[in-house]
Amino acid sequence: MKGLEGKRVLITGASSGIGAGIARVLAEAGCRLVLHYNRNEDGIRRTEAACRERGAETAILRCDFRQPETLDAFFDAAAQAFDGLDALVNNAGIVPKVPSLKDPQGETFAETLAVNLQAPYRLACRFARHCIERGQPGVVVNNSSIHGHKSCEWFSAYGASKAALDRLTEVQAIEWGQHGIRVVGIAPGVVPVERTEQILSQEKVKKEWIKRTPLGRYGETDEMGEAVAFLLSDHAAWMTGSTLTVDGGLIARGDYPFREDIRN
């Protein structure tokens, strides 16, 4: 991708899944990567090894985004790793599957918004200030979800966090465009990752999803990485404030499988 060589990129949630796929693709493109993780130390080491095999310089940082008081120090450390940052990929997130009436006080709801919305908001603000103070352009990519557009049972917290993240992408793009800072997003569809591949590989489950997906297959983590690479590249230089849906056509059809045990 044009313009990615040597770019300094912070990727949150890079220890597995889509975050690891993004890291591999950006490493291949010649980026220098700050890789964030929280709990999965083995995973982040695997991601780092894969990036270094592709010739990338890397740094690893840990932070628990449920603790907002740690975010400023985390960002400062990330910015110092390669004497500055050119891009931020807000990928880290949690996916609770809890019916609303089983979370009546909203503890899970609040935790989900802290990780999926508050942390990206604060990190993006710090990144924008970083770029403005240095007089440089920058790009923020927010990893949203098709659930930000249309959701289903169990996803009140997750769907709300991703819908809000889509609006945040729009507003911050408007606010920061004058400084040469682009804010964009991706909305992945069904992409098997370590925590979901076992259930998504079950024949009954796979059949339900695949028949609803016009392109007839699941997505892959590295395909999400390619989408992020495009958004970070000079090829997307006139693109800001929008979220790119990468879902094999699922949302165009708009037909999620029904979760029968929601009634229990």
Provide the annotated active-site residues.
158
* In contact, 65 and 114? CB cutoff 8 Å: yes
Query: What is the layout of strands, in order, in the sheet containing 181-188?
Result: 58-62, 32-37, 8-11, 87-90, 138-143, 181-188, 243-246
Contacts of 202 (CB under 8 A, 6+ apart): none
d(CA 42, CA 48): 10
Please tell me whether residue 250 adopts helix, strand or coil conformation.
helix
d(CA 19, CA 115): 15
Token pair belonging to 256: 């999620």
Cβ count within 10 A of residue 177: 13
Token pair belonging to 23: 């890291």
